[in-house]
Structure 1
Amino acid sequence: MTTVMAARRYFLDGATKSAIATELGISRFKVARLIEDAVRDGVVRIEIEPVPDIDIGLSRELAVSSGIRSAVVVRTAVGSADLERAMLGRAAATLLVETIETTDILGVSWGRTLHAIAAYLPVLPRCTVVQIVGGVPSLELDVNSLELVRRFAERAGGPVFPLHVPLVVEDPDVAAALRADPNVSATLAMFPRLTRAIVGIGAWEPGGSTVRAGLSGDASTALDAAGAVADVCAIPLDREGRLVRSTGLEERSISITPEQLRAVPDVVAISGGATKVMAIRAAIRSGLIHRLVTTEETARLLLADA
């Protein structure tokens, strides 16, 4: 009888072991033993409901194989890029709700897949939201980078630090002048304080990267020649995950630096699709990301390439 009472108070009522010990007139250690006995003897049965559309086993396998902290692998309908992005967006939105705390300073990047989060983002714990890349114009999407950050901030209800400047400019002197603007510098000063960030992964090929789309032909060609296959927050990477720094892009970009991104304790990347496999692999190898939200097809291709 005591075992059942202790188990009921602990699992159903949420009572602490100390409170149960006082109620039953026994030690807290005895309560802990009764709870263990209840589980072992079948008095308590614990069931974990599978999460719809998430492959838990494959998620774990990908995380272990890749050496990242965790992965969320989403089952999607192969062949529909828009549907894949929508499902990735929903999964990433759920992950944010489950992990963000009120003390967090959240960095938000940009990309087609991150754009999908906006449609599914519920109310978040009150936190600070910081835009970590400059603006990227896109005629394809109804939400630009500033609007995406505004939506995150609206859901979080906390302070917001936007970047009202382009991501890439042609002249390094212009970039330096923009960084010196008080409003811009206030946002840049938040980068070392970030506790979390959510980023996309661009594949360095036509149509695969919003950063590449904003560069001149000469700049894209220079990065191609330097071996770029991916970008994370306008940080170009080669296939081994090494930084590609010889082209001057960093001097012309207004965004978080590789060193600042690497210092963020928890960086979640959201990206999927067969054409993104090499880019995702490069991002993982770079050590810039800690967690990945991706599709089942992408996960299997990454595992096959491991």
Structure 2
Amino acid sequence: MYSKQEMIKVAKLYYELGLTQKQIAEQLSYSRPTISRILEAAMKSGIVEVNIRYSLDSVDYLSKQLQQRFDLKKAFVAPVFVNKADLIMADVGKALANYLYDICQENDILGVSWGKTLTCVADHLQPKKVPSMQIVQLNGGVAQNSFATGSMTILEHFSKNFDADAHLLYAPTIVDSEEIAHVLMTDSNLQRVIALGKKANIAVFGIGRPSYDSVLYQAGYFKEDSYQTLLKKGAVGDICSRYYKIDGSLVDQNLNKRTIGLQLDELQQKEHAIAIAVGTEKAQAVLGALRGKFLSTLFVDEYLAKEIIHLDQAMK
């Protein structure tokens, strides 16, 4: 293991003075491979941080195709520079975070869902003080087991970056029966938060797909047999924990009545209904959402955009 002093010295010579590894090796009487290993150790320890600066421009021809084909207000297609899921998600999430910075203003009500992609958006938000704005959770996020849905953390990130009040929908997203959902909905605080979600002029949500890796399954909302039943009924995607088919119709009315939060048709009334999805495996989920007209603005990656267009063409 190399000392902190060694790592700092070599890092300064290499990154600040611009010396080559060979020159540093000669100056310090080390071998060149040793200098390389010291630089690697400096990066792993956090002494050196790499920040790659680049503009995120949409892939224009794919954006136009999506907008025209699905009558969207806006479509942003992030280019894929390196085919790694985490890097792609980071670029799409950053693009949406930048867009929110541009459009959010005084007296807006911003509704947010939760999930992996929304966590990524929250992580890339830029501070913008809009104290008269309100942030509201669109669907319940209390897990049925010890798994954390991340809903509270996401809401806190949005609230902190916009310097705005946050309203948590403190309830499970899916309950066991319609009767339980009805009882929960008599709670005045839940009624207030859901009413605020309906009033929101901006809604931001991820598009999920039925998968055993999904947050909804991992959070304990489904047993394996009930999840299989959902798939057999034709579920291709979910928005705000509500499942739909490839044509945009709801999969199961009983399940929908047991779900706490915003209804899918209420998204159609929003000034900005902004969806985000990453990965070609989401193609059917996004296409179903587009056909259901649950969104007016879409943020996706280049590979997913091509797959959505291809799938729509094939099905027609």
Q: How does 1:1-306 map to 2 (within 5 A)?
A: 51-126=55-130, 127-135=133-141, 137=143, 144-207=150-213, 209-213=214-218, 214-246=221-253, 248-306=254-312
Verify the 8 A CA contact 1:104 1:195 in the aligned structure 2: yes
Q: Distance in 2 between matches of 1:265 and 1:54?
A: 22
What is aligned with 1:3? none
Once residues 260 and 223 of structure 2 are traced to their aligned partners in structure 1, the CA distance between those partners, rounded to angstroms, is: 16
* Residues 253-287 of structure 1, C-alpha deviations (whole Å, 9 max, x = no match): 11111232222221000001110011111111110
Count, aligned residues: 254
Letter in 2 for 1:85: M
Could you say if the C-alpha distance between residues 289 and 145 of structure 1 is closer, same or farther in structure 2, counting changes exceeding 3 Å? same
The DSSP-based 3-state class of the residue aligned with 1:90 is: helix
Cα drift, residue 194 of structure 1: 1.1
Tell me, yes or no, if the aligned pair for 1:136 and 1:210 is still in contact at 8 Å: no
Q: Distance in 1 between matches of 2:129 and 2:99?
A: 12
The answer to whether the Cα contact below 8 Å between 2:56 and 2:91 also exists between their aligned partners in 1 is: no
Q: Deviations over 1:214-238 (max 9, x none)?
A: 3223432332222111111112111
C-alpha distance in 2 between matches for 1:139 and 1:87: 30
- Matched position secondary structure for 2:123: coil
Q: Deviations over 1:14-36 (max 9, x none)?
A: xxxxxxxxxxxxxxxxxxxxxxx
CA drift at 1:114: 1.0
AA paired with 2:248? Answer: G
Q: Which moved more, 1:89-98 or 1:222-231?
A: 222-231
Instruction: Report the more deviating stretch, 251-260 or 273-282.
Output: 251-260
After superposition, the C-alpha distances for 1:83-122 in whole angstroms (9 at most, x for unaligned) are 1111111011001011112121111011211110121101
Kindly indicate whether the alpha-carbon contact (under 8 Å) linking 1:102 and 1:125 is maintained by their aligned counterparts in 2.
no
Instruction: Specify every segment of 5 or more residues in structure 2 that has no aligned partner in the other structure, as ranges.
Output: 1-53
In the aligned structure 2, how far is the partner of 1:62 from the partner of 1:165?
35
Question: Is the 1:100–1:125 contact (alpha carbons within 8 Å) kept by the matching residues of 2?
Answer: no
Tell me how far apart the structure 2 counterparts of residues 52 and 196 of structure 1 sit (CA, whole Å). 22
Q: 217-226 vs 122-131, which deviates more?
A: 217-226
Asked whether the 8 Å contact 1:227–1:239 carries over to 2, the reply is yes
3-state secondary structure, aligned to 1:204: coil
**Which one-letter code corresponds to 1:210 in the other structure?**
V
Amino acid at match of 1:285: R
Q: Deviations over 1:32-71 (max 9, x none)?
A: xxxxxxxxxxxxxxxxxx9435323322222112322210
Give, as a single letter, the amino acid of the residue that structure 1 aligns with 2:230: L
Q: Percent identity?
A: 28
Change (3 A) 1:65 1:159: same
Three-state SS of the structure 2 residue aligned to 1:240 is: coil
SS in 2 for 1:203: coil
Structure 1: gaps spanning 5 or more residues: 1-49
